[in-house]
Amino acid sequence: MRDSYHESLESVVTDLVHMTDAVQTAVREATKALLEADLGTAESVISSDSAIDQLHDELEARCFSLLARQAPVAGELRTVVAAMRMVADLARMGDLAAHVAKIARLRYPERAVPEGLVPNFTLMARVAENMVETAGRSLQERNAHDAGQLADSDDEMDELRKSQFRVMLSKDWPYSVEAAVDVALLGRYYERIADHAVIMAARVIYVITGLLPEGENWPVA
Amino acid sequence: MRDSYHESLESVVTDLVHMTDAVQTAVREATKALLEADLGTAESVISSDSAIDQLHDELEARCFSLLARQAPVAGELRTVVAAMRMVADLARMGDLAAHVAKIARLRYPERAVPEGLVPNFTLMARVAENMVETAGRSLQERNAHDAGQLADSDDEMDELRKSQFRVMLSKDWPYSVEAAVDVALLGRYYERIADHAVIMAARVIYVITGLLPEGENWPVA
């Protein structure tokens, strides 16, 4: 009984890592759809989002069942509680990747991101994707140090976003109002993917150390 | 022991309702700051957000403690699990209200919302605030019917947002690119407040019936 319990708990964590992989793929493919105006890839990201939502529902139900049947305590309870929050963050990151893909689809055959901001978005998307990867890997390896680094990556994200605003709000923005609105929302989506990766990393630290990291760099939700 | 346990569980729900009240106030005040270009109110919403985050941390710790000490099952376990998700949604709604207030502060003494969109935002803010109120009240009264109505209010929200886009992206948008970017983000913040109210309502239904409502109107995160 206890062995199957530990296996169930460990398989929840393993599947959370798989869910993170699926989210990372969604972010990477959404970026490809966006920057290459690739309709097929956009459609595929949008339709794959329901699989991520299903993983959410299934993992949440397994966590609930562990709580109901096993009444875990201490580190194991922390793991289950953290898992229930992480699935929500991961489902949300999947939604945000789908939002990026929807803007790519809406503007097809044009590219939603104007030429002058392609380097910025290329970098922003890479930072976001790396943050998702680090969150998943630090969970898999129970690596609080790497999880802790994510708050720094998030500072880089904030700088990239500020730089977008400087370009958009300069007097000589050469593109349309529509392009500015797209850039504002797309930047927001990548920024939120990064935020959720940081929140997930905070939960990884909590699983390992029993304490949530505190301070301005660590949002609660 | 069991009596004090039931009291603890009930006081978590009572304090979730109080937290919802605090969020509703934050949304109302943020809207006042935005539509009246009221700097003092904007500052007050921004500085009050840390109190909402503290409620999040405190309520989450109390839920953890209930799980660790009492190993609740059935409806009581559902209540604790739902509470742990609801605090995250409420903390996020508080952040979004603070984001609205930050845009109001950034544009002061100007008003961030251009004249032509004041009626739209007035309505949007009212719908969002009412949705937060309904989410809190349906939790307090364990009223699955009222919670179920929230998906309809969310459709109203989506219509208001579409109407914003029609105005912004029409060929004769008479305002600046900056105003369009503000409107795009502000509209997004209110829309997300409404989404979180719907997600919270889904959890209220889950507490009462044991089942999460399904379908496109009920996002998972």
Tell me the residue length of chain B: 221
Supply φ then ψ for residue B219, to 5 degrees: -65, 150
* Cα–Cα distances in angstroms (integers) from residue A209 to residues A141, A195, A204, A212, B185, in the given order: 14, 21, 9, 8, 37
Supply φ then ψ for residue B57, to 5 degrees: -65, -45
What pLDDT, in 10s, does the model give residues A159-176?
A: 999 999 999 999 889 999
B1 contact A CB<8A = no
Residues in chain B with CB shorter than 8 Å from the CB of A51 are none
How large is the ipTM? 0.96
What pLDDT, in 10s, does the model give residues B143-152?
A: 999 999 999 8
Which band of pLDDT confidence, cut at 50, 70 and 90, is reported for residue A1? low
Q: Which tokens is B72 given? A: 């609740």
Residues in chain B with CB shorter than 8 Å from the CB of A99 are none
Which conformational region is residue B59 in: left (phi greater than 0), alpha (psi within -120 to 50 degrees), or beta? alpha
Asked whether residue A154 carries a pLDDT value surpassing 60, the answer given is: yes
The pTM of this model reads 0.97
What pLDDT, in 10s, does the model give residues A121-134?
A: 999 999 999 999 99
Smallest Cβ–Cβ distance between A84 and the set B84, B169, B181 belongs to B84
Q: What per-residue confidence (pLDDT) applies to A183?
A: 98
Q: What per-residue confidence (pLDDT) applies to B220?
A: 85
Which band of pLDDT confidence, cut at 50, 70 and 90, is reported for residue B1? low
Q: Which tokens is B11 given? A: 């006081």
Averaged pLDDT score across all residues of chain A: 96
Question: Which residues neighbour B8 within 8 Å (Cβ) at sequence distance 6 or greater?
Answer: B62, B65, B66, B70
CB B112 within 8 A of CB B175: no
Q: Where are the domains of chain B?
A: 2-209
Which band of pLDDT confidence, cut at 50, 70 and 90, is reported for residue B204? very high
Question: Which residues neighbour B156 within 8 Å (Cβ) at sequence distance 6 or greater?
Answer: B127
Amino acid at B76: E
Tell me if A73 and B68 make a contact (CB, 8 A cut-off). Answer: yes
Q: Which residues of A133-155 are buried (b: 16+ CB within 10 A; e: fewer)?
A: bbbbbbbbeebbeebbebbebbe
How far apart are the CA of A221 and the nearest CA of chain B, in angstroms?
6
Q: For B2-209, give the CATH class.
A: mainly alpha
Q: What per-residue confidence (pLDDT) applies to A81?
A: 97
Q: What per-residue confidence (pLDDT) applies to B215?
A: 85
